[in-house]
Amino acid sequence: MLRKLKHLFSKPLPPEPVQDDDDELLSFENPNFITEPDKIAKLLGEIENSSPLCTVQVEGEDFSSSILAVKLDKKVIILDELMPKHGNDFLLLSRSLKLSTFHKGIHLSFNLTGIEVGHSRGINYYKAPLPDRVFYPQRRRTPRLEISSIDIPFSGVVQRTGISVGGSLFDLSRGGAGITVPVNRARVQRGDTVKNCQITFEDYVMDFDLSVRFVKPVSASSAKVQIGGLFENLSSKSQSKLSYFITSLERVEIRKQKA
């Protein structure tokens, strides 16, 4: 679908500076920043391939999104629309954001400015010039947190097809999850809503709907498919339980990095 989207792209707006605490340090003073364009492009390409769910900060509020594509020839990055949906209104006004995610177990972040909006199948996407630097403190190369090792099963029903889908989590955030399914019999596609979803962690059953943001094969030789999406209709109790669970996982990861 992204091949179709690229025909909609137009010239990006001139970048506008976004300030945060890290911007007070020049890149050559802080070894935690990557500033070489080739290294930035390689890193963003790796993040695109791993399809993590990202935290996007706009106007001081946090939202969820994901990276749809990194177009190195055009030097642009394409993001999915934000959830909750009111974040899109903020972004249309500010045209700038801060994106954070984890890669190989290490937190990274970067600013995007001069953001443009496009539409496909009724869903927004955003295009921006590649960042000129990325905060990526490479203390050590540790594996990205693998939720699949904890064995969290997933189940739900695809609203469009009425077919049940089941699998296990490989990725989890406060805003959504990534699921590996043995085969895509339910014909899940981007833009679908999976209803009546359930996952269980620490003896707590969490009910929610999932708004699908990407669907891709695990490999060319495998029938397994990875599905990534954002949580919808989470109860306040589930939000609290999920946040506590993820915080505990993050603490474990931090202890591994310091070991």
What percent of the chain clears pLDDT 90, i.e. is strictly above it? 42
E strands present in 75-190: 76-80, 97-103, 106-112, 116-120, 123-129, 134-135, 153-158, 164-172, 176-181
Q: Is the pLDDT of residue 46 over 60?
A: yes
Q: Which of 23-37, 67-81, 154-168 has the lowest mean pLDDT?
A: 23-37
| Beta-bridge partners for 83 | 64
Q: Is the pLDDT of residue 31 over 60?
A: no
Output the CA–CA distances (angstroms, integers) from residue 80 to 12, 43, 87, 137, 139, in the order listed.
17, 19, 12, 26, 30
Q: Which of 134, 123, 173, 131 is nearest to 152 (CA)?
A: 173
Q: In the sheet where 97-103 sits, what is the strand order?
A: 33-34, 134-135, 106-112, 97-103, 53-58, 61-71, 76-80, 123-129, 116-120
Distance CA 175, CA 57 (A): 13
pLDDT of 157 reads 97
Half-sphere exposure of 108 (CA within 13 A, CB side): 25
Distance CA 170, CA 123 (A): 25
pLDDT category at 35 given cuts 50, 70, 90 is confident
DSSP state of 83: B
Start-end ranges of CATH 2.40.10.220 in the chain? Answer: 144-257
pLDDT category at 152 given cuts 50, 70, 90 is very high
What's the mean pLDDT in 237-258?
80
Distance CA 134, CA 34 (A): 5
* Ramachandran angles phi, psi of 242, nearest 5°: -65, -45
75-112 residue pLDDT tens: 999 999 998 889 999 999 999 999 988 777 677 899 99
| Beta-bridge partners for 126 | 79, 117
pLDDT category at 168 given cuts 50, 70, 90 is very high
Q: Is the pLDDT of residue 72 over 50?
A: yes
DSSP 21-35: GGGGS-GGG-TTEE-
pLDDT of 25 reads 28
What's the mean pLDDT in 33-62?
86
CB 169, CB 147: distance < 8 Å: yes
Q: Is the pLDDT of residue 153 over 90?
A: yes
Q: Which of 31-40, 91-100, 175-184, 203-212 has the lowest mean pLDDT?
A: 31-40
Distance CA 178, CA 216 (A): 11
Overall CATH class of domain 144-257: mainly beta
pTM greater than the 0.75 cutoff? no
What's the mean pLDDT in 1-5?
41
Q: What is the chain's mean pLDDT, rounded?
A: 80
CATH homologous superfamily for 33-135? Electron Transport, Fmn-binding Protein; Chain A (2.30.110.10)
Distance CA 149, CA 30 (A): 35
